[in-house]
Amino acid sequence: MSGKIKNQLRNEKEKLSRMSFGQKAQYIFDYYKFHIIVFIVAVSLIYYVVTTFLNNKPLAFYGMFLNASGTDVTVSDEELERRFAAYEEISTKNQKVVIDTTATFNPNVNSQYSMAQNAKITALFASHDLDVMVIDPGVFTYYALNGAFTDLRDALGEIQYSKYESENRIYYIDGALMEKLKNLDAAQAESVMAEESDAAAGKVETGDESGEKTPGTKSPEEETLDEMEQLAADLMGDPDVISREDFRLPDPEKMEDPIPVGIILTDVSVISEGGFFARTVPVFGIPKVSDRKQLALDFLRFLEVGTKE
């Protein structure tokens, strides 16, 4: 170290020795302000890069409990994720396991929150990231009628499927109703809904005044819509969360084309012990878009037993 630098250091020490603690801090900040700012920015940048890298680990599994939360829940998402990762022997250092138990959605509620939740779920379907959904019966049916879930005859082995069938735990939807929904013209449906909205607002016109059909008569499109809504109502029941006491398992004998898409999980180990779906019946389904269907079946087993046997 040169004599010039030594003299500078000695002078700095003498200045600092005559200052109070507050004066020292202010002096150092004023003198080294640029260096301090650069250091803080550098540390922040490193932290951001590291956390972004860690959070962007490849997704190993994504499960969702929809409308499951309540005052009885005692297990966090993080705890479930840790337990399933251990059950499946997934290294969370290299891969990410996500189990979302706090999501809520009611298709009968038209709010910004509900639309945001639906948009999130739609995005998960579109990205093929969603591997499992466990939902209350009404909302499960909403997604099932839109063709969201895998036919369990294709996903389960014959022995496993027969087991759930013998236990009366298979949840069916009617394929004929799905076809009605697919074939209904969106413009016709909007026209009918607009007429119903006008009627509710007191804007009902007579046939003579409007030049259209006489009130009380229905077009074929309206009759089709009424039939479709009735069939959906028979399956979905109450538009809100269906209580356990009011739940009735859809009867495949009353369907034109029964398709098994769900499994009833009432009182299975992880769900009952964690306090999930305390007021309603949980229904398990595997999204058609999932690329990890074997993991989905492993998760079903995990929910039933909780640990490796």
User: Mean pLDDT for the chain?
Assistant: 77
Q: pTM of the predicted model, to two decimals?
A: 0.67
pLDDT band at 179 (very low <50, low <70, confident <90, very high): confident
CB distance 28 to 264 below 8 Å: no
Measured in whole angstroms, the distance separating CA 65 from the mean position of its chain's CA atoms is 7
pLDDT band at 5 (very low <50, low <70, confident <90, very high): low
For β-strands 96-100 and 59-66, DSSP reports them as: parallel
Using the 8-state DSSP alphabet, how is residue 149 labeled?
B
pLDDT band at 112 (very low <50, low <70, confident <90, very high): confident
**Using CA atoms, how far apart are residues 62 and 283, in angstroms rounded to an integer?**
17
Longest CA pairwise span in the chain (Å): 108
Measured in whole angstroms, the distance separating CA 98 from the mean position of its chain's CA atoms is 11
Which whole number is the average pLDDT over 297-304? Answer: 95
pLDDT digits (tens, 9 = 90+) for 32-51: 666 656 656 665 565 444 44
The answer to whether residue 131 scores a pLDDT higher than 70 is yes
CB distance 64 to 103 below 8 Å: yes
**Using CA atoms, how far apart are residues 131 and 193, in angstroms rounded to an integer?**
34
Which whole number is the average pLDDT over 50-70? Answer: 79
